[in-house]
Amino acid sequence: MCLNKNGKRTKAKIQVDSLVKAYPNNHYIQNVKGIVYKDLGLYHKNRKDQTKANSYLLSSTAAFIAAQNINDNLKSFYENNQALSLFYMNEKRDACQIWKSNSEFGGQNNLALLDASENKYSEAYHPLDSLYLKHLSLYKKRNKLLDHNKDLARDKTVLNNNYQFLTYYFLQEERPDIPFTNPFHLSASLDVGTLNFGHYIIEYSNASCIEKKDRRKVKKQKRKMKRMKKKKFKKGDCPSF
């Protein structure tokens, strides 16, 4: 996940493929494989190579389905991830069906963004605003992701790598014994359904969705600022800006 988050997708893919071979029945690993392959698919989709993107997204969908089959308790979270892969494959109808029956935070967020992708901004804004107020009431703090999404929907912004979709990644994977208390460790006997998702799930947004700044413009601006700093004025001269 660290490699993937830092844009080293190929290395992340090699790592997760070897993990899946060693632990094929570990739903956490299958979920991570789904996330890595989904982001690889999104990377190629953003570069207008839908054929290559679909090959990764199909593998991603299969990994999320495998995770669901292994652990039924976390099915709704893995279904949300699966729907996101389907959305990127342009299978919007299938993604919509999953998200409509998904009551999780991510599912509701992503369903609203699906409406935004079809220019149904009013239908997208109201659920996002409702989710934002619900989160504010429960946790007594703003949710930046929801605030960002609802503002874009309110302003009728075109979906262009600016809305933030949500993927679920779980922390309570099997770990060796360590000499201090692991804050992310959960007892195997604990009922996951009774927990609040904020305690054991990272809200992971797709880093590759964020538009990058034009480096040439940034460099040009820096050179301009340096020239202004170096410029010397004669005593009594008044610089103009």
Distance CA 108, CA 181 (A): 34
Amino acid at 83: A
pLDDT of residue 196: 46
pLDDT of residue 60: 97
pLDDT of residue 178: 44
Residues of the chain falling short of pLDDT 70? 171-216, 218, 228-241
| 157 CB-near residues (< 8 Å, 6+ apart) | 163
Q: Which residue has the tokens 């006997």?
A: 189
Give the C-alpha distances (Å, rounded to integers) separating 24 from 16, 18, 19, 20, 74: 11, 10, 8, 5, 17
pLDDT in tens, 174-204: 444 444 455 555 555 445 444 444 434 544 4
pLDDT of residue 19: 95
Name the token pair of 144.
């930046």
Evaluate whether 234 touches 137 at the Cβ level (below 8 Å).
no
pLDDT of residue 4: 87
pLDDT of residue 181: 52
CATH class of the 2-106+161-230 domain in this structure: mainly alpha
DSSP 212: P
